[in-house]
Amino acid sequence: MKRLLSLFSLRTVIVLTLSLMTSACGFHLRGDYLLPDEVHEISLTSFDQYSSLTRDVQKQLRMNGIRQVAPTTVTPSLDLISESLNERTLSLYQNSRAAEKELTYNVRYSVLIPGHDLKTYTTTVNRNYLDNPLTALAKSVERDMIEEEMRTQAAEQILRQMARLKADDAPVETSDVITHDDETESKVTTKEVIKSMSTTAETTQ
């Protein structure tokens, strides 16, 4: 019993110490992510304010204690620029019907924290699934569920990327693999969009 109490006390001390260290560095744990102190409220704009992606991002903001406010010059901003969903066939049945397909969902967005440079990112979610023409109705429902899961994963990745903003100012490329209950996998990749010097020069002229 004493040993258990000792281990519990040690764990508590470690957690408190880490919390104090991260607070001193300008980060606080909110929800599932260690977000910069500046990001306790944010201005959200979107290519479609009524889209499913926008709603998913708003849900992630609420879950992580981030208030959505009107844009100001001193407020961090998140701009959802575009989304796209593409499909390609990976394999065929003997009758030439598609057997396995890959869905690719892309989200382009930018984040601006006052005092830092504007960052633009592309998050890509890849997901494979089996397409059985004999169960078309069930597959249609499954397809809708898969697309919703991919949007949710993209929204979660946007929050993860915001948590990395102050940790590393260098151009980023991250990749995560998520295993689902049906043993299929999603690959979630985020890349920072870097403008070339020539493009920047042309823009300023």
| Token pair listed for 98 | 């598609």
* The pLDDT of residue 151 is above 90: yes
- Mean pLDDT of all residues in 34-47: 80
Q: In terms of pTM, does the model score above 0.75?
A: no
pLDDT band for position 59 (50/70/90)?
A: very high
Token pair 């920047």: residue: 200
CA–CA distances in Å: residue 178 to residues 154, 185, 190: 12, 5, 14
Tokens representing residue 36 in the block: 């910069």
Q: How confident is the model at residue 31 (pLDDT cuts 50, 70, 90)?
A: very low
pLDDT at residue number 196: 44
Residue 178 has pLDDT above 60, yes or no: yes
Please answer whether residues 160 and 61 qualify as being in contact, where contact means their C-beta atoms are separated by less than 8 angstroms. Answer: no
Write out pLDDT tens, residues 122-146.
999 999 988 776 676 667 888 899 9
